[in-house]
Structures are given as structure tokens and as C-alpha cells.
Amino acid sequence: MLEYKPVNLQLTKSAKDAIQHRLVACDFPSPIPGITWGRWEDESSSRWQIGFSERDKLIEGWIFKASGLAFYTFQDWVISQLDGKRLDYVHGKFSII
């Protein structure tokens, strides 16, 4: 089941621009950016990642708004980690500050 949660997450201009640029380039009919903590197979450490899901195919997780954009996460603990923080994008990487 999808739940809507209030989260006080702000996006820097560079983060919002990067996400909006990727939204335009995404080939999903109804994309939603997702925030997760993890690593790709070849990475040695975990980090914040932004990916995209098809909104209409989401079954469970949490949706929240930040700086006018809707976001999705399937990791429940991420909500508390993002609250009161800022998402930044520097040198091709997203970070929470």
C-alpha cells in the first residue's frame, strides 16, 4: 500500500535542476523520482541515490513532496533521515546535508 508522508526536505537549485532534467529524459509515461540509500554492484560504499519509477506501477512505499516535486521511497527509515534536511547535487552526485 502506498502512503503519503509529510517530509520537510528542501532541494538546492542544482538538485532540482538535475532531477527535472532527468524527468524530461525519462521514457516512463508517468515517472516519479525515488530516493534510496544503497550501492550499485561495483561500488564499495552506500550513498544516496535518485532513480525513477513508473508511478502507476507502485504498489507499496511512501510518497512525499519536496520543493514542489513528488518523491517515492520504499525504505521506511529514509523518511526520518530526510526530514529537516536538504538534497544537493554536486559533481554528478546527490547528497543529503
List pLDDT tens digits, range 49-67: 999 999 999 999 999 999 9
List pLDDT tens digits, range 42-51: 888 888 999 9
Q: In what order do the strands lie in the sheet with 86-90?
A: 10-11, 86-90, 93-96
- Give the CATH number, domain containing residue 39: 2.60.300.12
> What is the domain range of residue 33?
2-90
Q: Exposed, middle or buried: residue 19 (CB in 10 Å: 0-12, 13-18, 19+)? A: buried
Residue at 24 is within a domain: yes
Structural element, H or E, at residue 73: strand 69-73
pLDDT band at 88 (very low <50, low <70, confident <90, very high): very high
Pick from 80, 8, 4, 89: nearest CA to 48: 89
Q: pTM of the predicted model, to two decimals? A: 0.90
Residue at 95 is within a domain: no
Residue at 97 is within a domain: no
How many distinct structural domains can be found in the chain?
Answer: 1
Q: Which three cell numbers stand for residue 61?
A: 512505499
